[in-house]
Chain A
Amino acid sequence: MKKTLLTLTAGVAMSAMAAAAEEVRVYNWSDYIDEDLLTKFTEETGIKLIYDVFDSNDVLETKMLAGKSGYDVVVPSGTFLQRQISAGAFQKLDKSKLPNAANMWDVIEARTSKYDPGNEYSINYMWGTTGIGVNTGQVTEILGDDAPITSLALIFDPANAEKLAACGIHMLDAADEMIPAALAYLGLNPDSHDTKDIAKAEEVLAAVSPHIQKFHSSEYINGLANGDICVAIGWSGDILQARDRAWEAENGVELAYNAPSEGAMMWFDQMAIPVDAPNPDAAHTFLNFIMDAGNMAAASNYVYYANGNKASQPMLEEDVIGDPAIYPDEATLENLYTTTPYPPKVQRVVTRTWTKIKSGT
Chain B
Amino acid sequence: MRRFALILVPYLWLLALFLVPFVIVFKISLSDLAMAIPPYTPTLDLAEGWAGLVSFFRELDFENYVWLTEDALYWKAYLSSLQIAVISTVLTLLVGYPIAYGMARAPEEWRPMLLMLVILPFWTSFLIRVYAWMGILAKEGVLNQFLLWTGVISEPLVILNTNLAVYIGIVYTYLPFMILPIYASLERMDESLLEAAEDLGCSRLSAFWLVTAPLSKQGVIAGSFLVFIPTIGEFVIPSLLGGSKTLMIGKVLWDEFFANRDWPVASAVAVILLLILIVPIILFQRNQQKQREAEG
| A residues at B contact (CB < 8 Å) | 1, 5, 8-9, 56, 58-59, 61-62, 64-67, 83, 86-89, 168, 175, 209, 212-215, 226-228, 344, 347-348, 351-352, 354-356, 358-361
Contacts and interface: CB of A to CB of B under 8 A. Distances in A.
A interface: dominant SS: helix
Nearest to A341: B35
Contacts of A356: 73
Interface in B138-194: 138-140, 158, 161
A1 B158 CA distance: 20
B35 to A, nearest CB: 5
Given A66-B37, A88-B37, A358-B244, 17 more contacts: A1-B131, A8-B236, A56-B258, A61-B261, A65-B38, A66-B39, A87-B36, A87-B39, A213-B243, A214-B244, A226-B140, A228-B139, A351-B260, A355-B73, A355-B255, A355-B259, A361-B247
B interface: dominant SS: loop
30 contacts: A5-B128, A56-B258, A58-B258, A58-B259, A62-B258, A66-B38, A67-B38, A87-B36, A87-B37, A88-B37, A89-B37, A168-B139, A175-B259, A209-B244, A212-B244, A226-B140, A227-B140, A228-B139, A228-B140, A344-B33, A347-B260, A348-B260, A351-B255, A351-B260, A352-B71, A354-B259, A355-B252, A355-B255, A355-B259, A359-B73
A62 B257 contact: yes
B72 interface: yes
Contacts of B236: 8
Contacts of A361: 72-73, 76-77, 247
A5 B243 contact: no
Nearest to A227: B140
A226 B243 CA distance: 19
A194 B158 CA distance: 38
Interface of B: 33, 35-39, 71-73, 76-77, 127-128, 131, 138-140, 158, 161, 236, 243-245, 247, 252, 255, 257-262
A226 B156 CA distance: 14
Contacts of B138: 226, 228
Nearest to A89: B37
A233 to B, nearest CB: 14
Contacts of B139: 168, 228
A247 B166 CA distance: 33
B243 A87 contact: no
Contacts of B255: 351, 355
A222 to B, nearest CB: 10
Contacts of A1: 131
B37 A64 contact: yes
Nearest to B246: A359
The 9 closest A-B pairs by CB, nearest first: A65-B39, A67-B37, A358-B244, A58-B258, A351-B260, A58-B259, A87-B35, A228-B139, A62-B258
B36 A59 contact: no
A67 B38 CA distance: 7
B160 to A, nearest CB: 8
B244 A359 contact: yes
Contacts of B258: 56, 58-59, 62
Contacts of A86: 35
A61 B260 CA distance: 10
A209 B72 CA distance: 19
A16 to B, nearest CB: 13
Contacts of A9: 127
Given A226-B140, A228-B140, A359-B244, A5 B127 contact: yes
Given A214-B243, A359-B245, A361-B76, A88 B140 contact: no
A215 to B, nearest CB: 5
